[in-house]
Amino acid sequence: MPGATILGVYLYFVLSWGPRYMLHRKPYDLQNILVVYNFVQVLASIWLFWEAMDAAWWTRYSWKCEPVDWSTSPEAMRIAWAFYMFFLAKISELLDTVFFVLRKKDRQITFLHMYHHTVMPMISWGAAKYYPGGHGAFIGMINSFVHIIMYTYYMMAAMGPQFHKYLWWKKYITTLQLAMVIRVT
């Protein structure tokens, strides 16, 4: 219920209340908040990627097919904990859209963006609750790797125009995201 409530409030804010609230207001300047937020997202993504590699893919998981370890062994519990942290990361990423609303960046709020930010918390909650481990960890590892790059870009973009000359690689982020989606599916 808490996750469903958070998603409900998120959707209500992004699709209804937030745009009405911002209708006659100037966009908020969230530069410092965005730098800190994106830095935290980079750190979380690095940790999730490292945890997936160290607890699973470098050590004991098969790259071909890996079933869920239903035991309460320390290894299985470590991976289950990482799945739960991945779910919490997806909840925290809902702030991406909230910041778009508060900055009046409505063009950034596409159907695909909303779909991704609504479905990922649901999928990651289900994985954390019912299938915490196995080959599903591969998707989380790939997602975390892409998010390291993506949130690094967002952080640098939020740091101001003096950093924009270093952001020539923006066009490759979407290509990377699509390549990872195609590769995983």
User: From the candidates 24, 113, 116, 135, which is the catalytic residue?
Assistant: 116
Q: From CA 52, how far away is CA 144, in angstroms rounded?
A: 9
Q: What is the residue whose two structure tokens read 């918390």? A: 121
Taking the model in full, what pTM does it have?
Answer: 0.90
As averages over each run of 10 residues, the pLDDT of the chain (185 residues) reads: 93 96 96 98 97 89 84 93 96 97 94 92 94 88 93 94 86 78 57
pLDDT the model gives residue 2? 87
- For residue 74, give its domain range: 2-184
Residues 117 and 18: beta-carbon distance below 8 Å: no
C-alpha gyration radius of the chain: 18
Calculate what percentage of the chain has a pLDDT beyond 70: 97
Tally of structural domains, the chain: 1
Q: CA–CA separation, 3 vs 9, rounded Å?
A: 10
The predicted pLDDT at position 79 comes to 93
Q: Give the pLDDT confidence score for residue 184 in this predicted structure.
A: 53
Give yes or no: 116 in active site.
yes
The pLDDT value recorded for residue 99 is: 98
Residue 174: per-residue pLDDT: 77
Report pLDDT for 166.
87
Provide the residue type at 89 as one letter: A
Cα–Cα distance between 26 and 70 in angstroms, integer?
Answer: 52
| Residue found under tokens 């925290």 | 92
Q: Let me know: does 133 contact 68? Beta carbons within 8 Å.
A: yes
